[in-house]
Chains A and B, each alone.
Chain A
């Protein structure tokens, strides 16, 4: 078997097993379904590893059934193409699914084969989206991943908030997907091809970009930006994360959201880089990313629902990722990928821990959980480590990636923004950790008059918090976050994979039969003394903020300023209304803003 044949298998493997589960699910017991799902996920991970290893030397191109382009450079064939980043994300998705299944072994009571089949279909969608080199296939896999995701979000179908969250998620994402399809149709009308490399090749031979191409980009990017939860397309994310079961949240925050940003970057660098004015793209993604980062951080701090808090932190971090991708600099994008990967594993581990708390103590509310998990020492250590990792504590990979981004961009305001987002989001996570695990601060703080956050637990009994089914996956994820910072081979490989993303021409040429080796990235991430110092300072600041928050966040400073901050916070919370119509209105406004910013640049 050659590496070429591996690519279709990574999609077919989970999809095939999902079909098997649907066929025999009634007869297979719960454990049988668990084992079969785990087998498929492990096999997909192995295939993904093989593809990643091959793709890190040279892009792997697979024209399905041999329908490669002829002399005229045209084809109606379907293309799967893996560069190191695409294959790497596919592997990450499969590996996280393995952990989700292992974790689900103890986490769920009453799930049956339907859950397992949905999980595998979700995985197949992610694999296909990451590896596809064809716009229409990207749309189809996007929707496949979407539909499975909506159903997984509404898994607790009896829960009032679960159905509402799933509905918001489904409508906003589907609407984004249809706009994407509109954009894809426009590109097809213009070029007569659907494959990214062929469109990219053709558009680069045109003299001037037309408004038509710009409109096609805005529409196509819209769906992917919704998935990536870039402001103002992000509203669905907190709702979906707040209600989905913890292992599903880990997949959402760990890989699905990152896939959205990956999709935007993929179509931009392969098709539109050098076609649309680069300044417009930079401006648009920088503004939207920065707004998302600030809004996410401010919303994160105000939450007492633990999963919602983590969800807003994801929005903030992906915003940072977006504004880094916007620069188009290979080194910065490489750093951003290291940063987002380390963030993904740490965030996934935090979601799994919060799921453990929910099942044990029947609550997801920071204040209701006050001091209740004091006995769970190992989990407390893991939770606080996770929070500190988000703050940028060396030697976690987040700090290394962040330092590398800052070094390669060298823009003071980005450094400041990244620092602020890290401090505020990690401060919020640490605050909950201090309250729940250590019982620090006030038991009845000011915000206690709000109604507490509620969620149905997923089991009848109350599983212990020191069980290997919980601590194992958490340790693996946190360990991965740590190793990304410690092992130079890992951090170098991840950065190189990210940097390869920028090379759109290489992607085009590889698909057309002229493979080029991945470009070298030049500098590699190393621990500079200033990164270590900055990391320690942000961690200390986050800890101080957390202590201040746990004590009841008493206002300091002039009255006028604290009032203004409180007013902004209340306004933001009111904007995140949970109302479907509002979210769609924001989406439409976002499309307009995106178009205007692209034009302005």
Chain B
């Protein structure tokens, strides 16, 4: 079972690399932006995997909880939430810019955008 413990890290690395490779291969800007989100999803998985412990409970403590059971790490969960907020902002802005690119250039194919070369 021990090898299973590495599985989430593998998934995280896979998502991050594949997202980046996806941007390289994208023929559509919206697809590239979604690939960027895939890369970021890799960071969520990574963060949550780091905080996970087997048989631990959610880090919610009541007033009279004398809980001796282990808790999963709340810090990485807070980081993941922040990360999601950042991602929502960035993705929204990127999609807005992509819409504007589509209007001005009449295409969303990065290969057809040619205003900035050299």
Contact = CB atoms under 8 A, between A and B. Distances in A.
Contacts of A374: none
Interface string A122-165: 00000000000000100010010011001100100111110111
Most buried by B among A186, A189, A242: A189
Interface string B4-29: 00000000100010001101111001
B56 interface: no
B117 A170 contact: no
B79 A147 contact: no
Contacts of A166: 97
Contact of A154 (B75, B90, B100): B100
Interface in B38-73: 39-40, 42-43, 46-47, 50
Given A143-B90, A182-B42, A164 B101 contact: yes
Contact of B115 (A164, A170, A175): A164
Contacts of A179: 16
B91 to A, nearest CB: 9
Q: Which of B26, B76, B83, B86 has the most CB of A within 10 A?
A: B86
A63 to B, nearest CB: 16
Interface stretch (A286-294, A421-429, A541-549, A570-578): A570-578
Given A151-B93, A170-B93, A181-B43, A578 B116 contact: yes
A578 B111 CA distance: 9
B55 to A, nearest CB: 19
Interface string A568-597: 000001101111111011011000000000
Interface centre among B32, B97, B105 (most CB of A within 10 A): B97
A147 B93 CA distance: 8
A577 B117 CA distance: 5
Contacts of A579: 110-111, 113
Nearest to B79: A136
Contacts of A136: 79, 82
A163 B105 CA distance: 10
B86 to A, nearest CB: 5
A118 to B, nearest CB: 11
Contacts of B32: 171, 580-581
Contact of B104 (A163, A171, A242): A163
18 contacts: A76-B75, A150-B94, A163-B101, A167-B98, A170-B97, A171-B33, A178-B16, A178-B43, A182-B16, A242-B116, A243-B116, A302-B118, A303-B118, A574-B118, A577-B117, A578-B113, A581-B32, A588-B21
| The 6 nearest A-B residue pairs measured at CB | A578-B116, A573-B118, A161-B115, A189-B50, A581-B24, A584-B23
Given A243-B116, A588-B21, 20 more contacts: A143-B86, A151-B93, A157-B100, A160-B104, A161-B115, A164-B105, A165-B116, A167-B101, A171-B23, A171-B94, A174-B94, A175-B23, A178-B36, A178-B43, A179-B16, A188-B75, A580-B26, A581-B23, A585-B24, A587-B20
Interface of B: 12, 16, 20-21, 23-26, 29, 32-33, 36, 39-40, 42-43, 46-47, 50, 75-76, 79, 82-83, 86, 89-90, 93-94, 97-98, 100-101, 104-105, 110-111, 113-118
